[in-house]
Amino acid sequence: MPVLAASSSPSDRTYSVAIGVILAFAALEILAIAIHFGAQYHAEHATLEPLKRPAAPTTAKPTPPPLPAQPDAPSFAALSASDRLLKEANVLRERGDTANALARLQDAAQRDPGNPQVLAEMAAIYESIQLFDRSNETWRKIQDLGPSAGPLYELADMKLRVGAAATPASGVPVDTAGKPLDAEGLPEGSVFGVTSIETEQIPDSEAETNLRLKIGIKKRQGVAIDHSKLRIMVLFYDSVDTDKVVATDADVNYEWMNPKHDWAESNPETLIVTYLRSKTHAITSEAALSAAAAAVTPGKNSPRSKKRGEPATSTDSSDSSRRGYLGYVIRILYDDKLQTVRAEPARLINDAPNPSVSP
């Protein structure tokens, strides 16, 4: 009997192959999903792990906010230069070269105007050469710095309260020119001197500057005088553009409080000098300026400037609007000999131009 061999049809084989392929793709898909979620799990675990552990101590500090800018603070280069100039000035001062020492300090002060040590050294040198007005002015700059100047602030306060002029290095009071004053308050060897100066600002809506000086002029006791030999010069000065010193073109008037002013009835006698710069000021001529700066001679009519409203001889007015009151210099001469000098500010003794009227 013949045996028949069993065999599958082609459709059955195709079905089996399809099922195998589907199963293989399914396995690959499951494997891919497992790999994906496994990687995600590890990533999340790695991220959460540092959060679960306590933070390790660190030495890093947060960056502090920037300090506010200080526009007036000098640069490091300026500070270094001022310190170098200060050291040079100290060496020069110890050698006795006060002029060059003062020049170094002035340069340092321009570079670093808020350096109290530089200002204190300048004030001390001014005291040593008996320029007490300048010394007080410099101590006042230290006082204006406030407590930030440290111990120098207290020293400046004491100097200004006691008065540098009352306690010079030599222990003897002097006038602005450095001449020692004796018990009568007069320069030694002089017949006349200035014992007091009062400055009064006069309210005046029509004037830029209206001030009055009351000058107490004393004669030495027991000395006979010749009025014709006495000459008193009160010279006012203005500044142009804050730095140039020029003779004033303002209206100046002289008047004695006592019409006799012969030092017989009262001693001292008081000379009143007024300075007036009106808002509509016209510049006087050089001749008028000379007349205003002329000496006051007792027994004669005091020289007077033009009164307000009088016409003035006009000259070049290019610097008129830039002028401003600066100060004065008082000189007293007797028998053609200088008796005393007073100035405010003291630098006018050296900086002011020579008067157009010779003594």
pLDDT tens profile 97-121: 878 888 889 888 888 888 988 898 8
User: Is the predicted pLDDT of residue 299 greater than 60, yes or no?
Assistant: no
pLDDT tens readout for residues 58-94: 444 455 555 444 445 455 455 578 888 888 888 887 7
Mean pLDDT for all residues in the chain:
74
Q: Which is nearest to 343 in space by CA: 191, 204, 230, 237?
A: 237
Q: Which is nearest to 139 in space by CA: 149, 326, 328?
A: 149
Give the long-range contacts of residues 286-292, CB within 8 A, separation 24 or more.
Answer: 286/315, 286/356, 287/313, 288/312, 288/313, 289/247, 289/248, 289/249, 289/356, 290/356, 290/357, 292/248, 292/251, 292/252
User: Is the predicted pLDDT of residue 238 greater than 90, yes or no?
Assistant: yes
For residue 172, the model assigns a pLDDT of 64
Mean per-residue pLDDT for 221-240? 92
User: Is the predicted pLDDT of residue 27 greater than 80, yes or no?
Assistant: no
**How far apart (Å, rounded) are the C-alpha atoms in residues 347 and 350?**
6
Mean per-residue pLDDT for 121-139? 85
Is pTM beyond 0.75? Reply is no
pLDDT band, residue 39 (cuts 50/70/90): low
User: Is the predicted pLDDT of residue 321 greater than 90, yes or no?
Assistant: no
Q: How far is CA 29 from CA 32, 39, 120, in A?
A: 5, 15, 91
Mean per-residue pLDDT for 162-182? 62
Contact between 93 and 101 under an 8 Å Cβ cutoff? The reply is: yes
Mean per-residue pLDDT for 17-36? 73
